[in-house]
Structure 1
Amino acid sequence: MATEKAAPTLIGSVQRALRLLEAVGEHREGATAKQLARKAGLPLGTTYHLLRTLTHEGYLERVDGIYVHGKAVGSLGRHREVRQGREAVSRALNRLREELGAATYFATYRDGEVEVVDVSQAPGTEAVEEWADFGATGNAHAIGQCLLGQLDREGRLDYFSRHRPQSLTRRTVTDSGVLMRRLEARPLGRPVLEQQEYMPGVVCAAVPIMVGAAVCTIALSLPVAQSHRLPAAADRLGARVGSVMERLSFTI
């Protein structure tokens, strides 16, 4: 005998609040509480109670007795866009990892900080272990060097004033003057290659990209035993990243 599927538990107050939000959306210029009550089919007292709550939480705004959507409604859409954008980036990184046979990374420079947003790895293409904070060691790895290379001089000096260059391996460059000249001398758009400056046994490459006005980079890493592959893999990453990312529209 088939078991009857239980009906879902519905929360009436949530349903009524959503009906009010929908009713507000149908009035471009906003609507009064009485108009919204009629549109949503709710008692006026219940409508006033829900309108006060939705206004307090920022989902509605009341201007001269007229209710319109508040900023919190817009943020719901932005959160969805961010989630969808992150998922698109993840898929792109997975494709690049499979094509290049290397762990891949997406990072951005946001609010004066280096931020690794997503990483794609798999057995045989493991990502670099973050044994020293990526955000504070931009001088030592390809991701940080690529992002800093896209800034102006003031932006670089600002970063190094807050994150003094750290010595992580015997290859790490820590002299601020040398670092500044090195960053300024790099040709725009070319991959950044880094060999064991962040961690012994690992080589990396990063290519600069722009996502809207955001400063970003796509990077890859390889074990030092495969360092002979790095220049060709970096060039291929630079050639492929445009076609993989150009159709993506997302918010960082």
Structure 2
Amino acid sequence: MSGFKWIGATIGWALGGPIGAIIGLALGSAGDAFSSGKYNPFLSEGEASNRKSGGYSAEQRPQTHSGDFEVSLLILASVVIKADGVSDPRELDYVRSQFVGMYGKERANKAFKLFKEINNQTINTRQVCLQIQRMMDHPSRLQLLHFLFNIAKADGMVIDEEERQIATIAGYLNISSRDYNSIKAMFYNSSDNAYKILEITKAASADEIKQAYRRKVKKYHPDKVEHLGEEHKKGAEAKFKEVQKAYEQIQKERGL
């Protein structure tokens, strides 16, 4: 399997609409293409009709696969990295290292080559995010958000421009402010971060703390993204551990 033909076997819905245009241009710039007649990189006519009419309902939404998540991640990572007008080498290295950890060196190198071509494009963030929102399930979108914060902090801190860009992306992805602030709190140091992660205040009772923890465990459990493949399930464990850490910190502070 030469060049980027590996991607054809793993991407489903992501190659239609604005994402399809971005990936198509990136593949063309990289000097490769899908084998003629073997794989259609655009949505079928029926799927295109669903997209034009407002997309799928939550019940109809097609299952997100590893490749769909991957190309969404590549595009949004480019948006965040360029938020401050500079592509920091540490952030680029973080993207590469994460892909190596998830997919292995060979596939990661091909993905990163594609990422560099995407990074040269001007991306309509709203259009891309609206496509993702229509097609990707909520747990996978939360995982995307967590990864974007990881990228932003790869150089040591999340700067204001990056945080504003991630907040904009979260809005387009239809991620609630509560979910957004919970994930954001995982990347900052403050006295009330543990409470923010659990989506409660310091006035919460012991029972409310336990209830909040159980809700978060259910929402952020790695099994929620097991359909993306083992590589992404492992990535979700970091987010899950932050919830556990926050709960343990509050317990310790209150002597529970």
The TM tier, using the shorter chain, reads: under 0.3
The two structures have a TM-score, normalised by structure 2, of: 0.24
Decide which structure has the larger Cα Rg and report it.
Answer: 1
Greater fraction helix: 2
Bigger fraction of residues in strand: 1
